[in-house]
Amino acid sequence: MKKVRFKAKVTYDGSGFYGWQVQPGKRTVQAEIERVLSQIFQQDVKIQGCGRTDTAVHAICYVFSFSVHTDMTPAEVMKATNSLLDKKIRIKEVSYAENSFHPRFDARKKIYRYLISEFNSPFLINRAWYICQKLNIAKMKKAAEYIVGTHDFACFQASGRKAKNTVRTIEYIKIKRERCCIDPDVKMIAIEVCGTGFLYKMVRNIVGTLVDVGRNKKLPEQIKEIIESKDRKLASATAPGYGLYLKNVIYKRAS
């Protein structure tokens, strides 16, 4: 059998998992997928992911790749994998990939989506951050304007994994009101953040700070000062992981 490299797109519910990356003694998305693939191909399969997602964080479209000796087609791989995976994880697409393809290093940008609910709906448990007071969207949008662009985002980097270079580029932040598709009576706020790269818990720290602006605890103009300070203590508390979704990963070539 020849050695083949596959690229896969997967969606998963992050609740009940300690994030994407394999951790000794903990249940993770990567470990679950590797377990199933190793069972299917009867060989030790290690996969490369497009990045990390933290405990309880979800993915609408996460990209990973792996190489195995097999004659199976991408369609057969997807069918076999989904038949054995935990129901909280589903492969959306499998295709052949070039041997040089790496889902993390070849990624050009990522898009994250954060959901906030204005009603404590039972349908949104572990799906959206419930905030009881109405947020000032206009002020949040104004604050977001200071974040867009290339900056040193040390103020939004959580402790635990310190990057040597904390300069990143945020291409856009979109904030809009939506209605829950399950219950249209439930009003929600969706925050979409697109960037070329992100620091540890950066999106959740941005969301936490924007929410404080929406709560009138911070002024939109303060965001500029917070970024320039490079001081994590001046930004707000980290938003809960369960409201965050990796929406998409964009590559130089069509993915």
How many angstroms separate the first and last alpha carbons of the chain? 26
Neighbours of 209 (CB within 10 A): 28
Q: What is the pLDDT of residue 185?
A: 94
DSSP reduced 3-state for 122: helix
- Domain assignments of the chain as residue spans, ordered by start: 3-96, 107-251
CA distance 50 to 76: 23
pLDDT given for residue 47 in this prediction: 96
User: What CATH topology corresponds to 107-251?
Assistant: Alpha-Beta Plaits (3.30.70)
Q: What is the pLDDT of residue 255?
A: 47
User: Residue 26 is encoded by which pair of tokens?
Assistant: 């903990």
DSSP string, 184-197: TTSEEEEEEEEES-
Q: Give average pLDDT by consecutive 10-residue segment, the chain, 255 residues.
A: 94 96 95 97 96 95 97 97 97 96 96 97 96 96 98 92 90 96 94 96 98 97 97 96 97 68
pLDDT for residue 253: 65
| Catalytic residue list | 54
SS3 91: strand
Q: Which fold has domain 3-96?
A: Alpha-Beta Plaits (3.30.70)
Please tell me the pTM assigned to this model: 0.94
Q: Looking at residue 140, what is its pLDDT?
A: 98
Question: Residue 106: CB partners within 8 Å, gap ≥ 6?
Answer: 251, 252
What's residue 162's pLDDT?
A: 78
Distance, CA of 94 to CA of 116 (rounded, Å): 32
Q: Do domains 3-96 and 107-251 have the same CATH topology?
A: yes
pLDDT tens, residue by residue, 114-132: 999 999 999 999 999 999 9
- pLDDT tens, residue by residue, 68-118: 999 999 999 999 999 999 999 999 999 999 999 999 999 999 999 999 999
